[in-house]
């Protein structure tokens, strides 16, 4: 029983540390980095296709073969993931906004 309690405690500490670490990364974005992404064709392409896939209800499938350079592929992937998750977040937000207000 002691071993199980110790294991549960270690897992809880791990999750706590991960959430604190994740909170550090959610600071305000750098305006220069944001502007660079907006003007990046690969990022915008990924953003569009990610939103389109989420809108159609498809699964996340990042087609990085569309871009030849490694930088473009990583930029496309970042845009795709952002577009996909933003669309899903906006879709869920109106349904959860009214919860808890009685």
Q: What is the pLDDT of residues 23-67, one digit of tens each?
A: 445 556 666 667 677 788 999 999 999 999 999 887 888 888 888
What pTM was estimated for this model as a whole? 0.57
Buried-state track 32-48, b at ≥16 Cβ within 10 A, e below 16: eeeeebeebebbbbbbe
Instruction: Give the model's pLDDT for residue 63.
Output: 83
For residue 101, pLDDT over 80 is answered with: no
- Integer Cα distance of 89 and 81 in angstroms: 12
Would you state the pLDDT for residue 14? 58
pLDDT over 80 (residue 89): yes
Of 71 and 97, more confident: 71
């Amino acid at each position: 029983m002691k071993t199980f309690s110790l294991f549960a405690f270690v897992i809880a500490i791990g999750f706590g540390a991960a959430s604190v670490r994740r909170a550090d990364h959610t600071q305000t974005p750098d305006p220069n980095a944001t502007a660079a992404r907006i003007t990046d064709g690969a990022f915008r392409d990924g953003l569009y296709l990610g939103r389109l896939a989420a809108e159609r209800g498809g699964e996340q499938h990042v087609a990085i073969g569309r871009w030849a350079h490694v930088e473009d592929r990583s930029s496309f992937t970042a845009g795709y993931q952002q577009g996909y998750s933003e669309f899903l977040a906006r879709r869920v937000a109106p349904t959860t906004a009214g919860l808890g207000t009685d």
